[in-house]
Amino acid sequence: MGSGVAVVTDSTAHLPRGLAERCALTVVPLQIAVGGATRDDISTGEAAHELNITTSRPSPTRFADAYRAAADAGASEVVSVHLSAAMSGTVEAARLAADDAPVPVRVVDSGTIGMALGFAVLSAAATALSGGTGEQAADAALRRARLTRTLLYVDTLEHLHRSGRIGAAATLLGSALMVKPLLDIADGRIEALEKVRTATRALARLEELAVTEARDRRVDLGVQHLAAPSRADSLAARLRDRIPDVEDVHVGEVGPVIGAHVGPGMLAVVVAPHL
């Protein structure tokens, strides 16, 4: 990068294909274990139908290798931006590796996940590419993450409950079979937002919430799904029509690390105002 600032993130950012390379980003994968075999997180729908996936953070060694490679490529400092520390030990692993890195490393807990993390990382990369310092790139990532809102629809809370990722949303479990829950991310955790009686109404409400969140601000949008591509494409098209100042819209399927926790049918809208 022109400023000598390298930007590192993890695979839960789910950046669109090719974008990491174009922005000179290094992506360190989280890991999944299926049937005793461990491999890196990849963008695939296999988690939609596999109930026995377990996930784990990258080892500090993976981060150490990434930081060393950045230094060897000429970086004078690194900004490492990751999913919420309340959801994963990834930030902790990054910090352990940063202690012994050959260049200064700023580790940023984005407090979020998915394309909300992705947009924060892209803001850090844009700042670095324009000649900003590591401090400025890290600040850009944090500010973008705090502005960004993630709204989620899930067909069932079973996966989130089993993985312990729902926090206050556990209050919905008693009526989970009769409602379709809408969730958001608050204070780094997935929390209950609303209960809606049918899937059709829940998806309509998800759309309304996203439009309201965007208001008249200039925004980027992310629409993410698990095993629901047509639903995601339709929602993205409607949002592009209804939100007055949309720049980029990214539509994609989440990988196994996120998919294992949300289950098939998940649909998420990420509204990311520009800085």
Per-residue pLDDT of the chain (275 residues; tens, 9 = 90+): 445 999 999 999 998 878 989 999 999 999 887 766 777 776 555 555 555 677 789 999 999 999 999 999 999 999 999 999 999 999 999 999 999 999 999 999 999 999 999 999 999 999 999 999 999 999 999 999 999 999 999 876 665 655 555 544 454 544 545 678 899 999 899 888 988 888 899 999 999 999 999 999 999 999 999 989 999 999 999 999 999 999 999 999 988 888 777 778 899 999 999 99
Say how far apart CA 108 and CA 17 lie, in whole Å: 23
Say how far apart CA 256 and CA 22 lie, in whole Å: 24
Q: Let me know: does 239 contact 210? Beta carbons within 8 Å.
A: yes
For 147, the token pair is 């502005």
Owner of token pair 């950012």: 13
Q: What is the reported pLDDT for 41?
A: 72
Say how far apart CA 117 and CA 207 lie, in whole Å: 21
Domains and CATH numbers, the chain: 5-146 (3.40.50.10170), 149-273 (3.30.1180.10)
- The SS3 assignment for 129 reads helix
The pTM assigned to this predicted structure is 0.90
- The SS3 assignment for 249 reads strand
Sign of the alpha-carbon dihedral angle for 173, 179, 180, 183? negative
- Alpha-carbon separation of residue 232 from 117, 166, 199, 252 (angstroms): 19, 23, 14, 8
- For the stretch 249-271, pLDDT in tens is 999 998 888 877 777 889 999 99
Q: Let me know: does 124 contact 202? Beta carbons within 8 Å.
A: no
Q: Let me know: does 138 contact 79? Beta carbons within 8 Å.
A: yes
How far, in whole angstroms, is CA 83 from its chain's centroid?
Answer: 7
Q: What is the reported pLDDT for 31?
A: 86
Q: What is the reported pLDDT for 158?
A: 63
Q: What is the reported pLDDT for 38?
A: 76
Which amino acid appears at position 90 of this protein? T
